[in-house]
Structure 1
Amino acid sequence: MESLRVTLAGGVACEVCGRLPHPRRLRLTFAKLVAVAPVELVLHAIVLAVHPPYLVSVAVLASVTTALVIWVVEPSTMRLLRTWLHAPKRRPRPGLDGLWRIRMTLDDRAGSLQRVARRLADVDANILGLHVHPIDHGVRDELVVSTPDAVNGAVLQALVEAAGGYDVHVWPTTALALVDGQTKALSLSARVVADPAELPHAVAELLGAQPVTDRATLAVPLPADGTTLKIPSPWTGLFAFVRPGEPFTPAESARAHRLAELAELATSRLLPRK
């Protein structure tokens, strides 16, 4: 559902938290004016043409306008203008140019990451964050880098591959990606403890994955390429998550399972005791 909301919003939602930017006051005022003005004009024209008693006019204008604006016109207008309404204001970011998230697999030997760092330094890319995920055939590293405007994702991917990295994926990201993994995991754990129903959303946010919501899909064997993760659910048996093109690491699987255990404990404490 979160990925669907981001898609419907025209890609303006934050790719880390999935939330839409808050609309600017001027745009919000204009959108509401566009929604309300036509309805007001038409209703006033009808009332003036029919010329009913004063109290009837007031009652009709107040009730019909309120109902139409709240339930029909304003929501439709907001959906129609959502991309423009929520478009973030472009501001220069002092000290930060383009921000990119890079995931790559490296051989687990000394100097592998150093070669990547040297290649990135050649284009003035600054490594701002690093997470290491041990896997069976090496290490899966995740970097957050800041680059000059002239450096794009294709350039970064080519540099990492030239330095010996493989299975390389590069995405544009935001400053929210700089929140360290421990802080993010603790924040999501607090959400799950407060409301165990937040479990699938918390896991999806923690791993950058999409929850599988179709129960029929869960009933059939899922791909065994590592891009699908299943965790126990306190209510439905299993939750499944997919991350196309990016297999889950053992460390990520362990984190998701710990959140599931936390949700189960929180659920058992919330149940009424007999």
Structure 2
Amino acid sequence: MRPIAARPRVHALACDVCGRLPHPRRTRLALAKLAAVFPVELALHALVIHWHPSYLVAVLLLTITTTILVIWVVEPSAMRFLGSWLHGPELRDRDRADRAPALWRIRVHVDDRPGQLEALAAHLADREANILTVHVHHLESGVLDELVVATPADITTHDLTAAVTKAGGAKVRVWPASALTLIDGQTKALAVAARVVADSDELPLAIAELLGARYLPNGLEDEASDGTALVLPNEPERPLTFLRPDEPFTPAEIARAHRLLDLAHIVTPRT
């Protein structure tokens, strides 16, 4: 029963376009073919020796029978039977990828009082969410917490939203994140600042990279209204406009963008 249960796992490796499985490693493929062919060759030679046919008949019998059995019957059957072993390394890589934790980015408004972050962490822990980074932004009314968490693959946006809301959070927003989210914000800001110092013309694209937003050279003209826009004054030139469709800009991000703009004005040669 085990080989039958393993087949769907092997077929999961098939290409979505052509349906072919990845080519097995040479050593495993050679051993599988040897295991399939050797018993057939041994049995046929034993029969030929037992019957004592003429030399020509023996050669024809061994050639034709071996070719038909090996190519059309034995080898395909062996490849199916040994599929899990042939593609063992690929299956292990696939299993590790399936078990890899999912990354999520959470933004939530909470009251600025002791124990609020602890309650948030406790309710996320109930969902097996591991908090990787935390940024706290103080607002006029409360606090905006920004978290990056890793969860099991079966945890959904609804699960995280419910856990954060139960902890006392409001205006909860949850997005899938990537490993790039874990890059330290200060380190990224310094790297982008060095880019602006080297060439101040890189300022718009550098700010866009820093914010993870899209630079709009013509402002908000002919642009969809969905998303959050950030307009930075850039005297004497026209303001710099950036648009991010999903996530609103945090106060810390806006402050970094302004400081980067100030840096560009400092390093720009005066005429």
| SS of residue paired to 2:96 | coil
Aligned counterparts, 1:8-47, within 5 A: none
Map 1:215-230; keep pairs closer than 5 Å: 215=219, 217=221, 227-230=228-231
Which structure has the higher relative contact order (CA within 8 Å, separation 6+)?
Answer: 1
- Post-superposition offset of 1:202: 2.0
Aligned counterparts of 1:192 and 1:91: Cα–Cα separation in 2: 43
| 1:64-213 correspondence runs (5 A) | 92=96, 96-213=100-217
TM-score, normalising length from structure 1?
0.57
Q: Residues of 1 paired with 2:214 and 2:174: CA distance? A: 18
What's the RMSD between the two structures over aligned residues?
Answer: 3.2
Point out the structure with max Rg over C-alpha: 2
**Separation in 2, partners of 1:145, 1:231:** 31
Does the aligned pair in 2 maintain the 1:234–1:263 contact within 8 Å?
A: no
Contact 2:127–2:163 under 8 Å retained in 1: no
Give the 3-state SS of the residue equivalent to 1:144 in structure 2.
strand
After the TM superposition, which segments of 4 or more aligned residues of structure 1 sit over 4 Å from their partners? 93-96
| Structure 1: distance between partners of 2:207 and 2:95 | 31
Assess if the C-alpha contact under 8 Å between 1:134 and 1:251 holds in 2: no
The answer to whether the 8 A contact 2:108-2:172 is kept is: yes
Corresponding residue for residue 256 of structure 1: 257
Instruction: Answer whether contact 1:130 1:143 (CA < 8 A) is retained.
Output: yes
Taking structure 1 as reference, are residues 202 and 91 closer, same or farther at Cα in structure 2, changes over 3 Å only? farther
Alpha-carbon spacing, 1:96–1:135, altered in 2? closer, same or farther (3 Å): farther
How far apart are the structure 2 equivalents of 1:141 and 1:235? 36
TM-score computed with the length of structure 2 as normaliser: 0.58
Residue identity over aligned pairs, in percent, reads 51
Deviation at 1:154, TM superposition (A): 2.1
Unpaired segments ≥5 residues, structure 1: 1-88
Opposite residue 253 of structure 2, the aligned amino acid is E
How many residue pairs end up in the alignment?
180
1:63-106 CA-to-partner distances (Å, cap 9, x unmatched) read xxxxxxxxxxxxxxxxxxxxxxxxxx978359951111111111
Q: Distance in 2 between matches of 1:151 and 1:210?
A: 30
Find out whether 1:214 has 2:215 as its counterpart: no
Distance (whole Å) between structure 1 residues aligned to residue 151 and residue 220 of structure 2: 44
Output the amino acid matched with 2:242: F
Given residue 262 of structure 2, which amino acid in structure 1 is its aligned partner? E
